[in-house]
A and B are shown apart, each in its own frame.
Chain A
Amino acid sequence: MSASASLTRRGFGLGVVAAGLAIGFRLDAPARAAGEVTPMLLANPKLDTWVRVTPDGRVSVTTGRVELGQGVLTAMRQIAAHELDIDPAALEVLSADTAASPNEGFTAGSMSVRYGGEALGMACADLRATLLRVAAEAWGSEPGRLTVEGGVIHGADGRRMTYGDAASRVSLVRPVDTGARRKDPTKAGPIGASLPRTDLPAKVFGQQVFIHDLRPEGMLFGAVARPPGYAARLISFDEAAARAMPGVVEVVRDGSFLGVLARREEQAREAASRIAEAATWENGPPLFGGAGVFDYMKGVPAEEKVLHRTAGEAQGAVRLHRAEYRRGFQAHASIGASCALAQWEGGKLTVWSHCQGPFPLRTDLARALRVEEGSIRVIHAQGSGCYGHNGADDVALDAALLARAAGGRPVRVQWTHEEEMAWEPWSSAMIVRMEAGIGGDGTPTSWSHDVRSFSHNTRPGQPGAGGCNLRSAWYLENPVAPPVSTDAPLPAGAAARNAVPIYAGIPNQRISSHFLPEAPIRTSALRTLGGYFNALCGDLFIEELAALAGKDPVSYRLANLTDPRLAEVLHRAVRLSGWTPEAVRLAPALEPVMTGTGLGLSRYKNTDCYVAVVARVEVDTRSGEVRPLALWAAVDAGRVVNPDGLRNQVEGGMVQSTSWTLMEEGHWNAHRIVSDNYADYPILEFPGLPRIESAIVDRPDQPPLGAGEGSQAPTGAAIANAVLAATGRRVPEIPLTPERVRAALLA
């Protein structure tokens, strides 16, 4: 058995199975016209790609979705078990591997259960129906007269046939029958149960889970000697000195890409750091031409587009209200830095990666390494939570480049935390300008929202003419430059995600974007892409309109909503909080400490889960410090596969968003991000934690909606609106740092 095969099998207990298909496709926009299930099954039509029965009778399902800590493999297990009438624990659940699994693109954008789960469920329904037909035929019975319990088919006369027996009599090598009848998802079963996460015991007992824990025999450690800035070029370095450093076994230079292989991890890190320090680099021009980022964004040419317009009854506005909101760069700031393991054997590369899309990563690895895609296999293995496009893909190329010099030995590279923070893609700084007409009774008569932003999606595997979105490819002797960045269209959108207001009752809407395709600081997807800030701005703005109208924020919102599911979560969150809404008083006299309650409401991507959040905060008006006291949320995600898993995602998003909203902002020098550790880029600590409660509006009769990223925007909006409610003053820039709040209070 080769080292890679044995790693695959032993490494994670996940293994690989089944013949796979590799078809590229895009999922930016939900293909709703074609039916919600079809994209995954169109790309991966073969039944045995999704589900198989092993010769010893076990049912094995394979998803192209990957575990990022969101519990997706547990949810997939429930969906499959539900359709198959089988104990969830009896199933084998395998995840993405370019040699074996369905190609489901990226595990991102809260689409796993909605699309991937529906496809897997359909395949399992097909399998169940097929095996029932086999038994019925064998017994001269009708499938409708048979039942299944625990993976055993029962006839009316007491006859039994296991799934294994039935499967041995029929070929499953054929396309999925998308007409197979699904089990009623509202019937009691694995769907809807809070099945404990199957991956947690290993994490709680320190068993091997992460790539970081893989230690194949003969493994070397790699590290990259990073330039002093993003645009820097390597002029020279002392190779002999580098080779003489403790533990160093190989030094790799390819253009301005410089790295080492060492026997020990700390030796590789130390050597890379010393080599980088001693090398001669030539820096590029200063970032943003030395200007502030918001001035820069307004000064450079932008692609301007009108994305959405509605007509409406012409109504006279008696006045206009305008606002400009800003947010700086924010980071993924994963606790464990990105890691990959790579091994070259006879011209074939195997990479273990915790990326979100093994297939797209393979595409860009092939472009960077100038080899055929077919000679690369990418196997997903878990890493620290990524929250979007962090360094996971980049480090895979670093490991592959260094492993090329390792003479067939496997190479593990784990970035340092500083490296992750400085070199991963950040979430773009954004400027949102809003304007509304206000009628005589305070009602909005028009609404415009313009978002100015760098890209929110520079992930690998972009379709079209090539280019490579893996960082080190840009520094090679024969570099492969990144493709020109584009913005994704609505309804999902990227920079303009959630720019269309949920307040559909407002006439004369105009949504536009100023997209900046070239980013001096590399940017890409952080959870929600532009959705967090756009939805937050929309909700700050409506709160201001309500305050100007002298109306309370709940009734003012309700008057402009048309979707009853939004109204329902709004009512539920308000009830949960016990808050009695009242009109915000603008600019009252300041007291030393002021408390306030605010509201946030959104429907993620305008197509997925509905979330309302009520926040109570305390503002110390002397220091400007905002202390979040409590957050209450209500979520409607349609049919819920795992209620505890949903709560974990919703509440986790609330904590994360509290951190984004109050604390997080990157800083840079002339050449690179310098907020590269938790002292310079702090995130929320335990003592800052608000009390958190959430309620699920259960709708078992409705299809599941993406829910992994639904709470961030309404949480941010609720906190910012609570600051407005507390102080009667608006703070137009996120994060709401003490200095910024203090400045707004004094303005």
Chain B
Amino acid sequence: MARLTVNGRGVEVDVDPSTPLIYVLRNDLALNGPKLGCGRAQCGACTVHLDGQAIRSCQLPLGEAEGRQVTTLEGLGTPERPHPLQEAFLAEQAAQCGYCTNGMIMQGAALIQDQPGITEAEVLEGMRGNLCRCGTQPRVVRAVMSAARKGA
């Protein structure tokens, strides 16, 4: 039985500790935020925060998340209390299909945390590992920059 904290709530799951965290979050805990993409940490769609750091949940064994704080897109903000980057994504309409959106927001939120002065070049580099196939990257950059300026 693995114990971890997900979006502020303690959870227990009876799953093999070698199981990649993404499957537990999605299929055992019914969370939709993290998306199963390449399964090799090449695309970033599965990004979650582990103790505040952006990590690829397709590569993290459940056992390594034990006793730690996992935050998913659902825990970052809600329609009632959105994270500034979620607001910025809506303001910039920074998505098309939306499959990569989870990773973009989770990576971006970690990137700009306490960095109101982050430069565009730093955002481009910091988002390197997150792929979008629809081509919404310019909008994503605008959203991340705008949320950073607002002190996300």
Partner of A335, one of B27, B79, B93, B99: B99
Contact B45 A213, beta carbon cutoff 8 Å: no
Interface centre among A206, A208, A210, A384 (most CB of B within 10 A): A206
Contact A201 B90, beta carbon cutoff 8 Å: yes
Contact B23 A652, beta carbon cutoff 8 Å: no
Q: List 13 A-B contacts (CB under 8 A).
A: A197-B95, A205-B74, A264-B23, A265-B26, A265-B27, A336-B37, A336-B45, A385-B96, A678-B43, A685-B128, A686-B127, A687-B124, A689-B138
Contact B98 A203, beta carbon cutoff 8 Å: yes
Contact A215 B30, beta carbon cutoff 8 Å: yes
Interface bits A707-742 vs B (CB < 8 Å: 1, else 0): 000000000000000000000000000000000000
Nearest B residue to A685, CB-CB:
B128
Contact B105 A207, beta carbon cutoff 8 Å: no
CA distance A685 to B19 in the complex (A): 29
Give the distance to chain A from B45, nearest Cβ to Cβ, in Å: 6
Interface centre among B20, B74, B95, B128 (most CB of A within 10 A): B95
Chain B CB within 8 A of A152 CB:
no
- Nearest first, the 4 A-B pairs at minimum CB distance are A69-B97, A655-B135, A206-B33, A203-B98
| Residues of A close to B11: CB separation below 8 A | none
| Residues of B close to A685: CB separation below 8 A | 128-129, 131
Give the distance to chain B from A399, nearest Cβ to Cβ, in Å: 16
Contact A205 B78, beta carbon cutoff 8 Å: yes
Contact A205 B124, beta carbon cutoff 8 Å: no
Interface bits B16-45 vs A (CB < 8 Å: 1, else 0): 000110010011001111011111101101
Residues of chain A from 195 to 221 with CB closer than 8 A to chain B in the complex: 196-197, 199-201, 203-210, 212-213, 215
Contact of A204 with B86 at beta-carbon distance under 8 Å, contacts A70-B96, A336-B35, A686-B125 already known: yes
Partner of A208, one of B23, B32, B38, B132: B32
Contact B32 A213, beta carbon cutoff 8 Å: yes
Contact B139 A212, beta carbon cutoff 8 Å: no
5 further interface pairs, Cβ-Cβ under 8 Å (given A206-B102, A335-B133, A417-B40): A200-B98, A205-B82, A336-B36, A653-B135, A656-B135
Nearest B residue to A266, CB-CB:
B23
Partner of A689, one of B19, B78, B96, B124: B124
Partner of B99, one of A265, A384, A689: A384
Interface centre among A203, A334, A652, A689 (most CB of B within 10 A): A203
Residues of chain A from 206 to 241 with CB closer than 8 A to chain B in the complex: 206-210, 212-213, 215
Chain A CB within 8 A of B5 CB:
no
| Residues of A close to B59: CB separation below 8 A | none
Contact B23 A335, beta carbon cutoff 8 Å: no
CA distance A645 to B9 in the complex (A): 38
Main secondary structure of the interface of B (DSSP, over half): loop
Report how many residues on chain B are interfacial, defined by Cβ distance under 8 Å: 56
Contact A200 B90, beta carbon cutoff 8 Å: yes
Nearest B residue to A653, CB-CB:
B135
| Residues of B close to A652: CB separation below 8 A | 96, 134-136
Residues of chain B from 67 to 106 with CB closer than 8 A to chain A in the complex: 72-74, 77-79, 82, 86, 89-90, 93, 95-102, 105
Partner of A654, one of B15, B133, B135: B135
Residues of chain B from 114 to 128 with CB closer than 8 A to chain A in the complex: 123-125, 127-128
| Residues of B close to A213: CB separation below 8 A | 26, 32
Nearest A residue to B41, CB-CB:
A678
